[in-house]
Amino acid sequence: MLWLTALRPLLCPDRQLATIKKNHRSTPLASLFLLYSKLTLKIPSFSKYPTHIMASSALQRLVRFIPRSSPSKILIGQPADKDIDVGAALRKGQEVAVNVWSGSSVLSPGSSTGATETIDRVLSPLAQSEIGTVRCVGLNYRKHAAELGLEPPPIPVIFMKPATAIVDPWPARGIVPKLSQIDESGDYEAELAVVIGKTAKNVSESEALDYVLGYTAANDVSSRTQQLNQSQWSFSKSFDGSCPIGPTLALKSLIPDPSKLFMRGLKNGEVFQESGTDDLIFSVPKIISWLSQGTTLPPGTVIITGTPAGVGMGRTPKDALRHGDEFAVEILPHIGTLTNVFEDEKNGFLTKLPASIPEKMRALRLVEYHKNYKLLDDVPTPTPKPDEVLIRVAAAGLCHTDLIVYHGFTEAPLPFTGSHEPAGTIVSLGSEVPETWHVGDRVGITNFMDPCDKCKGCKWATQAIGSLDPRFCDNRTMCDLQKGQTVAIIGIGGLGVLGIQFAKARGYRVVAVDNHDVGLKLASEVPSHLRPDLTLRLQDSETIQKISDFTDEIGLKAAIVCTSDNDANDWAARRLQPRGVLVAAGFPEQGLKFESMNLLFKEILVKGTIHCSMEETREMMEFVVEHGIRSHLSLLSMDEAEDIVARSEAHAFVGRPVVQIRK
């Protein structure tokens, strides 16, 4: 198991940078598989869905999950065992197999792929971006109203939760808000959740169930003091992480009558709530009809329908939801169990790791320069400082900067754990981490050099860099190209193959150049709408003439060199037209060298590149989703990766090598 500390997320406000610190030294290069890099980046979701959802008759239950075989993917599918309680099985550590469907959302499931995957981590049935606002009904069970000494309301009591309240099932942690910690007023509410499958407005009770996609479990976490201090309940129930839902979405074909379900709420294994849904004051059809009057309920709308008797505030003595409590919502038949272990919001400076995090981890470490990594089992798991988060790494990529460290150019202190390109899940927060970060967040990591927002370098960056357009907006790149101009991507590996696709998506004419069969093959395997206009072998005798012919003898407007071969940089510079741009993305061991006459007389501009801001990265991710850009990866287990650098330098990998971290 590998873990990583990410230090001071979003330190410099204008650039939204994070920090890297290593033994009181700063370096723009960071680590590889281990997971001790020092910056975190949250990746947004981007989804587009139809307004009318029709679930296949072959589907009965859906789960959204991360597969064990590919920790960077999110899949949907149907549990292979039609009777398994997915949440309960996963909480017990059992494997759960899922028959994968082709769609990207439970709202558009697609068709069966025939593939079966094992769940690594189960997610809420819907992403936050798909839900919008959670509609909630309060005081909707007769016995619950009675335990509070209240009369049943004459009309549904409605309040809202924002999508940011949604949190995944276990192992994601539920959150006890700070306001609830002060007076121990946090409370649980086991609830049935309804997911709308097609646009509903002004529907009648008799037709309301026609608009339902399915049902799942929810926990309406509440701050009772805040709830009782005001007439509107939204504030007291809208805290981040206050609405776990999932894990299984049972389609309405399985549950034709939602008034015949049985629900339990269990705190630390003890049954606190127990009721049939026949105790609802307002039925599911009534709730849907009521909420749709004059208001559109789009597909993906989540409605939580109220909680039965047994809540903490109704018990004698009163009971509170506290740090470390485990709460499970069980709904039968078909839906199963939603479980979360709760932790205090911003629990403070961690002097020791939570019990669920091991004190030792596995890591691939560089022990001696120029020698293979060593896979060690007893590396101390880092403890996050107040401005750090701890990340359980799912996968980590090998970058050329790792090779630089490997060969000793940075003189990084040894032993050293590699990769500054990991992705994983936040498992613990320091006390000074901004409230926008949560345990359970899936994050990617990049790295920057110790931004403090105070020194001359940071002040200069704020003034001179902060206002520039993002790299991929306004039809511009670092090469300052316009549509129709020609760029060469030289060196087609994990980075070069992305360069080809970005350039084609921006409307440029693209020449792909490599000197190895594996690179030339990779250039031909990108999505058909993003393939290069010309693919050439660098040392072929006809390559130079073909580039000349392709550019009407003017030469390339730009070249991006994604290799550490120094000769390739000079070769590319000679193919440029006057005032052309060369972007050097490799790291030649002997430094960059160019023929001076060509560089001076043609006024060639040479640029370096290392990273971009978080805002640029967000825009890039939108661009990736919009144009279908795909990475090409060679996946390795940790046990296979000790010689990853040597194999990479021997061109043994197709695309970027990525180490997958197993539980």
Confidence of residue 456 (pLDDT cuts 50, 70, 90): low
* Cβ–Cβ under 8 Å, residues 276 and 199: no
Considering only the top CATH level, what class is 486-608?
Answer: alpha beta
Confidence of residue 447 (pLDDT cuts 50, 70, 90): low
Q: Please report which helix (H) or strand (E) contains residue 497, including its range.
A: helix 494-505
Label the pairing between strands 605-608 and 576-584: parallel
Digit-coded pLDDT (tens) for 499-548: 999 999 999 999 999 989 889 999 998 888 999 999 999 999 999 999 99
CA-CA distance, 86 to 336, in Å (whole number)? 7
Q: Answer yes or no: is pLDDT of 3 > 50.
A: no
Amino acid at 187: D
Count each helix (H run) and each strand (E run) in the chain, helices first.
16, 35
Label the pairing between strands 3-7 and 388-397: antiparallel
Q: Closest Cα to residue 255, out of 140, 332, 338?
A: 332
Intervals of CATH 3.90.180.10 along the chain: 3-43+364-463
CA-CA distance, 226 to 236, in Å (whole number)? 5
Q: Answer yes or no: is pLDDT of 612 > 90.
A: no
Q: Answer yes or no: is pLDDT of 41 > 50.
A: no
Residue 453 pLDDT? 55
* Cβ–Cβ under 8 Å, residues 332 and 261: yes
CA atoms in the 13 A half-sphere facing the CB of 643: 7
CA-CA distance, 304 to 516, in Å (whole number)? 57
Residue 355 pLDDT? 53
Digit-coded pLDDT (tens) for 401-435: 787 788 887 788 888 888 877 888 888 888 788 87
- What percent of the chain has pLDDT above 70? 83
Residue 332 CB neighbour total at 10 angstroms = 12
Q: Answer yes or no: is pLDDT of 339 > 60.
A: yes
Digit-coded pLDDT (tens) for 280-309: 999 999 999 999 999 999 999 999 999 999
Task: Give the range among 7-11, 231-235, 624-628 with minimum mean pLDDT.
Answer: 7-11
Burial class (CB in 10 A: 0-12, 13-18, 19+), 607: middle
Amino acid at 418: G
Q: Closest Cα to residue 102, out of 69, 129, 62, 70?
A: 62
Q: Closest Cα to residue 484, out of 557, 572, 577?
A: 557
Tokens describing residue 160: 């809202």
Residue 346 pLDDT? 65
| Topology (CATH) of 128-344 | Fumarylacetoacetate hydrolase; domain 2 (3.90.850)
Task: Give the range among 25-29, 437-441, 449-453 with minimum mean pLDDT.
Answer: 25-29
Task: Give the range among 228-232, 337-341, 348-352, 494-498 with minimum mean pLDDT.
Answer: 348-352
**Over 348-384, what HEC string results?**
CCCCCCCCCCCCEEEEEEECCCCCCCEEEEEEECCCC
**How much is the average pLDDT of 635-647?**
90
Show Cβ contacts of residue 650 under 8 Å, excluding neighbours closer than 6 positions.
Answer: none
Using CA of residue 434, residue 439, residue 442, residue 444, what is the dihedral sign?
A: positive
Q: 522 phi and psi, to 5 degrees?
A: -60, -40
CATH of domain 3-43+364-463: 3.90.180.10
* Most confident among 29-33, 47-51, 420-424 (mean pLDDT): 420-424
Q: Answer yes or no: is pLDDT of 617 > 50.
A: yes
Q: 220 phi and psi, to 5 degrees?
A: -90, 85
User: What does each C-alpha distance from 54 to 60, 358, 528 come to in angstroms?
Assistant: 13, 45, 30
Mean pLDDT of the chain: 82
DSSP symbols for 373-442: -EEEEEEEPPPP-TTEEEEEEEEEE--HHHHHHHTTTT---SSEE-BS-EEEEEEEE-TTS-TT--TT-E
- Check whether the bond before 333 is cis (ω within 30° of 0): yes
Show Cβ contacts of residue 214 under 8 Å, excluding neighbours closer than 6 positions.
Answer: 55, 62, 106, 125, 195, 197, 249, 250, 251, 252, 254, 255
pTM passes above 0.85: no
Intervals of CATH 3.90.850.10 along the chain: 128-344
Q: Answer yes or no: is pLDDT of 16 > 50.
A: no
Intervals of CATH 3.40.50.720 along the chain: 486-608
Q: 578 phi and psi, to 5 degrees?
A: -55, 135
